[in-house]
């Protein structure tokens, strides 16, 4: 059985829950517990406490990419006796930037570094290729770009070997959990493009249906054609349940709901999904 709790999202509607621009999910697959992203602050920890979730019981932590709103909260994770492995692409530790319309660069990485979190240095596992961390639990590794409409954003940059280069988001990790009837897919921001991500899922699991997609999709600034193509591909790939979160965009979520109907589930902090 697969259970998913939303710990951090941009919206909250339940009493006592806190919201912020970010994402964090608590995922339970049978007896395996995974913390997927940590938002930007201690909000995920506060919300987990209200939900009765013991974060220190996590078997694994998966960090989707190196932006503050997905891994910034890691410094508020306080491991006890059992220290989980933290899976991340090595690029997550590079300096990350965003450029605004005026050409001004802003740092968008977390405030911590690997030296400031003593427990992390010994527990981090770098991922570039697909890795099975448990039976039926796969971290997909670097996601190939295979279509011509999900372009590399001109907004994001990183510093590699002292040189500023366009960020192509090699560090975006996708978590795929295999169930008997199909797979569930989890994405932080889908920076390589949510369609590219799903097409990679189908390559990795060609005989499996996509039962569930839980993701920030970074579509808030997408043009209408881009959004329509994305929704149509959800339909073509027969994605059975879509849960758009975080950076997907309010209007874009409404459009998905309009076309997908009950297949699109609108959720926020404290909500619970089960397969």
Mean pLDDT of the chain: 95
Tally helices (H) and strands (E) across the chain.
6, 17
Region class of 15: left (phi > 0), else alpha (psi between -120 and 50), else beta: beta
Where residue 149 sits, what CATH number does that domain have? 3.60.15.10
What mean pLDDT do residues 12-18 have? 95
Q: For residue 190, what are the domain limits? A: 2-274
At 204, which helix (H) or strand (E)?
Answer: helix 194-204
User: pTM of the predicted model, to two decimals?
Assistant: 0.96
Strands across the sheet containing 209-216: 131-134, 137-139, 175-179, 182-187, 209-216, 242-245
pLDDT tens column, 197-243? 999 999 999 999 999 999 999 999 999 999 999 999 999 999 999 99
Average pLDDT estimate for 83-99: 95
- In angstroms, what is the C-alpha Rg of the chain? 17
pLDDT, residue 209, reads 97
Domain count, the chain: 1
Over range 125-142, report the average pLDDT: 97
Q: What percent helix, strand, coil does the chain show, rounded to 5?
A: 25, 30, 45
8-22, 79-93, 121-135: least confident range:
79-93
What pLDDT does residue 1 have?
Answer: 87
């Amino acid at each position: 059985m697969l259970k998913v709790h939303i710990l951090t999202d941009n919206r909250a509607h339940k009493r006592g829950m806190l919201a912020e621009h970010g994402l964090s999910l608590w995922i339970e697959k049978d007896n395996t517990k995974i913390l997927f992203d940590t938002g930007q602050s201690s909000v995920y920890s506060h919300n987990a406490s209200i939900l009765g979730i013991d974060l220190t019981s996590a078997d694994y932590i998966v960090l989707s990419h190196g932006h503050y709103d997905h891994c910034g909260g890691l410094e508020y994770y306080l491991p006890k006796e059992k220290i989980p492995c933290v899976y991340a692409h090595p690029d997550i530790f590079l300096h990350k930037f965003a450029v605004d319309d005026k050409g001004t660069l802003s740092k968008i990485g977390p405030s911590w570094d690997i030296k400031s979190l003593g427990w992390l240095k010994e527990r981090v596992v770098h991922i570039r290729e697909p890795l099975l961390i448990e039976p039926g639990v796969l971290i997909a590794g670097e996601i190939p770009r295979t279509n011509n409409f999900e372009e590399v954003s001109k907004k994001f940059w990183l510093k590699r070997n002292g040189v500023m280069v366009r960020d192509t988001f090699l560090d975006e990790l996708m978590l795929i959990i295999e169930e008997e009837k199909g797979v569930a897919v989890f994405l932080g921001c889908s920076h390589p493009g949510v369609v590219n991500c799903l097409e990679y899922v189908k390559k990795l699991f060609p005989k499996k249906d996509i039962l569930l997609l839980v993701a920030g999709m970074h579509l808030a600034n997408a043009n209408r054609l881009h959004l329509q193509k994305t929704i149509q591909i959800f339909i073509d790939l027969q994605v059975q349940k879509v849960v758009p979160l975080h950076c997907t965009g309010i209007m874009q979520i409404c459009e998905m709901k309009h076309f997908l109907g009950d297949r699109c589930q609108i959720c926020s902090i404290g909500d619970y999904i089960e397969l």
